[in-house]
Amino acid sequence: MALTPKDVDDLTESMKKLLELWMRIKLVLLKAFGAEPVTREHENAFMQLKSDVSRIYRATSNRLSSGLQFEGDKLVEMLKNAMTMAHLQKLSPNEKQSIYVVWHLLYIRMTRTLGALETMKAGYYPHMHRSRLQKMPVGKAAKS
């Protein structure tokens, strides 16, 4: 199913919000991996943040076409495995590094998805241009 301009607008805003929340997850990781103690307020805020990320991801992922997907299963798994900030603090250095790697991979993929949506928002819809180019005589496509 091709995305309409309204779909693209909505998805663009959802991806921006998801990326904003994903950056906040990075701040939580930095805090949890630090030496300072984690308070009850930090834990509650982390639980709310995880809930918000999961909710927006579920609402967004079902509407993204296959070419715009960003390995959200890894996002869900990472959030599920990061039970609490106290749990994160107890992880080994190798486990912490692994979490950073997954966080960064997902950040890159989500940024790529947002970039594609912003390109579509600017008026370039690959499915529309592809069909237009297929109708052109050979040699004309390169000149247009």
Residues 102-119: tens digit of each pLDDT: 999 999 999 999 999 999
pTM of the model: 0.82
For residue 15, the Cα-to-chain-centroid distance in whole angstroms is 6
Could you give the 3-state DSSP secondary structure of residue 77? helix
Distance between CA atoms of 141 and 144, rounded to whole angstroms?
5
| 31 vs 130: which has the higher pLDDT | 31
In this structure, is residue 24 part of a structural domain? yes
Distance between CA atoms of 57 and 93, rounded to whole angstroms?
28
CATH number of the CATH domain containing 85: 1.20.120
Structurally, the chain folds into a number of domains equal to: 1
Helices 93-121, 72-81: crossing angle, 10 deg rounding: 140
CB-based contacts of 124: which residues, under 8 Å, 6+ apart? none
Tens digits of residue pLDDT in 70-113: 888 999 999 999 999 999 999 999 999 999 999 999 999 999 99
